[in-house]
Structure 1
Amino acid sequence: MSFGMDDFSAPELVSLKNSLKQRGVKYAIASVVDVHGIPKGKVVPINHFEQMMRGAELFVGSAMEGVPQGIQDEELVAVPDPTSNVLTPWNRELVWFSSDLYYKGEAFEACSRSILKRVMGQAAGLGYVLKLGVEAEFMVLQPTESGEIKPVGDRDTLSKARYDLRSTLDNITWLSELTEAINDLDWDVYSLEHEAANGQFEINFNYTDAVKMSDRLTFFRLMVNEVLKNHGYFASFMPKPFADTAGNGAHFNLSLASTEGGGNLFLTREDPHKCGLSKLGYQFIAGILKHAPAICAVLAPTVNSYKRLVTPSSMQNFSGVPIHTSYGGNNRTALLRIPMGGGRVEYRAADGVCNPYLGAAMLLAAGLEGIRDGLDPGEPEVENITTFSPVQLQQRGMQTLPRTLGEAIEAFATDPLSYEVMGPLMFQTYVDCKIQEWLAYCNTISEWETQRYLRWF
Structure 2
Amino acid sequence: MSTPLTPELEALKSSLEAKGVKYALASYVDIHGICKAKAVPLSHLGQMMQGSELFTGAALDGVPQDVSDEEVAAMPDPATATILPWNSEIVWFASDLYLKGKPFEACCRTILQRATQKAAEMGYRFNLGIETEFFIYKETEDGGFVPVSDRDHIAKAAYAVPTLLDNYGILDTIVSAMNQLGWGVYSFDHEDALGQFETDFDYADALTMADRFTFFRLMVKELCRQQGYFASFMPKPHANQTGSGAHYNMSLADLETGENLFVDPSDPRGCKLSKLGYQFIAGVLKHAPAIAAVIAPTVNSYKRLVMKGSLYGYSWAPVYICYGNNNRTNMVRIPLAGERVECRAADISCNLYLGAAMVLMAGLEGIREGLDPGEPHRENMYKCSPEQLQAMQIETLPKTLSEAIEAFAADPLSEEVMGSLMFQTYVDFKRQEWEEYHNHVSDWEIQRYLKFF
Same fold (TM > 0.5)? yes
Deviation of the 1:317 alpha carbon: 4.3
The counterpart of 2:451, out of the listed 430, 450, 455, is 455
Q: Please say if 1:119 is aligned against 2:115.
A: yes
Aligned to 1:20: 16
Aligned to 1:146: 142
The residue type equivalent to 1:320 in the other structure is W
The counterpart of 1:301, out of the listed 297, 300, 322, is 297
The counterpart of 1:220, out of the listed 213, 216, 223, is 216
Question: Alpha carbons of 1:119 and 1:209: their partners in 2 closer, same or farther (altered >3 Å)?
Answer: same
Instruction: Output the CA distance in 1 between the equivalents of 2:349 and 2:268.
Output: 37
Instruction: Output the CA distance in 2 between the equivalents of 1:151 and 1:168.
Output: 11
Deviation of the 1:160 alpha carbon: 1.8
5+ residue gaps, structure 2: none
The counterpart of 2:362, out of the listed 353, 366, 380, is 366
| Two-structure CA RMSD over aligned residues (Å) | 1.2
Counterparts of 1:184-223 in structure 2 under 5 Å?
Answer: 184-223=180-219
The residue type equivalent to 2:195 in the other structure is G
Instruction: Output the CA distance in 1 between the equivalents of 2:277 and 2:292.
Output: 20
Q: Give SS of 1:212's match.
A: helix
**1:66-103 CA distance string (max 9 Å, x none):** 11100000000100000011111001111100000011
Q: Please say if 1:441 is aligned against 2:437.
A: yes
The counterpart of 2:92, out of the listed 89, 92, 96, is 96
The counterpart of 2:172, out of the listed 173, 176, 179, is 176
**1:325-363 CA distance string (max 9 Å, x none):** 010010000000001100000000111110000000000
Deviation of the 1:314 alpha carbon: 7.9
Contact 1:287 1:369 in 2 (8 A): yes
**1:188-229 CA distance string (max 9 Å, x none):** 100010000111101111000000100000000011111111
Instruction: Output the CA distance in 1 between the equivalents of 2:312 and 2:181.
Output: 39
Instruction: Output the CA distance in 1 between the equivalents of 2:214 and 2:258.
Output: 28
Instruction: Output the CA distance in 2 between the equivalents of 1:417 and 1:359.
Output: 13
Contact 2:22 2:41 in 1 (8 A): yes
Deviation of the 1:315 alpha carbon: 6.5
The residue type equivalent to 1:149 in the other structure is F
Aligned to 2:307: 311
Question: Alpha carbons of 1:314 and 1:138: their partners in 2 closer, same or farther (altered >3 Å)?
Answer: closer
Aligned to 2:57: 61
The counterpart of 1:403, out of the listed 393, 399, 406, is 399
Contact 1:25 1:95 in 2 (8 A): yes
The counterpart of 2:318, out of the listed 316, 319, 322, is 322
**1:261-286 CA distance string (max 9 Å, x none):** 23111012110111111000000000
**1:37-63 CA distance string (max 9 Å, x none):** 111011100000111011100011001
Instruction: Output the CA distance in 2 between the equivalents of 1:22 and 1:427.
Output: 44
Instruction: Output the CA distance in 1 between the equivalents of 2:452 and 2:321.
Output: 39
Instruction: Output the CA distance in 1 between the equivalents of 2:402 and 2:158.
Output: 32
**1:5-35 CA distance string (max 9 Å, x none):** xxx9722211111111011111111000001
Q: Post-superposition, which runs of at least 4 consecutive aligned residues in structure 1 deviate over 2 A? A: 155-159, 312-319
Q: Give SS of 1:420's match.
A: helix
Question: How many pairs does the alignment contain?
Answer: 450
Aligned to 2:106: 110
The counterpart of 2:237, out of the listed 238, 241, 245, is 241
Aligned to 2:422: 426
Instruction: Output the CA distance in 1 between the equivalents of 2:151 and 2:396.
Output: 37
TM-score scaled to structure 2, two decimals? 0.98
Counterparts of 1:253-402 in structure 2 under 5 Å?
Answer: 253-312=249-308, 316-402=312-398
Q: Give SS of 2:87's match.
A: coil
5+ residue gaps, structure 1: 1-7
Deviation of the 1:319 alpha carbon: 3.2
Deviation of the 1:180 alpha carbon: 1.1
Q: Give SS of 1:266's match.
A: coil
Contact 1:297 1:409 in 2 (8 A): yes
Instruction: Output the CA distance in 1 between the equivalents of 2:418 and 2:165.
Output: 44
Instruction: Output the CA distance in 2 between the equivalents of 1:231 and 1:314.
Output: 29
Deviation of the 1:318 alpha carbon: 2.5
Instruction: Output the CA distance in 1 between the equivalents of 2:24 and 2:309.
Output: 50
The residue type equivalent to 1:224 in the other structure is V
Contact 1:132 1:207 in 2 (8 A): yes
Aligned to 1:231: 227
Instruction: Output the CA distance in 2 between the equivalents of 1:248 and 1:158.
Output: 20
Q: Give SS of 2:247's match.
A: strand
Contact 1:159 1:317 in 2 (8 A): no
The residue type equivalent to 1:27 in the other structure is Y
Instruction: Output the CA distance in 1 between the equivalents of 2:83 and 2:313.
Output: 39
Instruction: Output the CA distance in 1 between the equivalents of 2:158 and 2:310.
Output: 20
Q: Give SS of 1:213's match.
A: helix
Deviation of the 1:313 alpha carbon: 6.9
Q: Give SS of 1:223's match.
A: helix
Instruction: Output the CA distance in 2 between the equivalents of 1:61 and 1:81.
Output: 20
Q: Give SS of 2:131's match.
A: strand
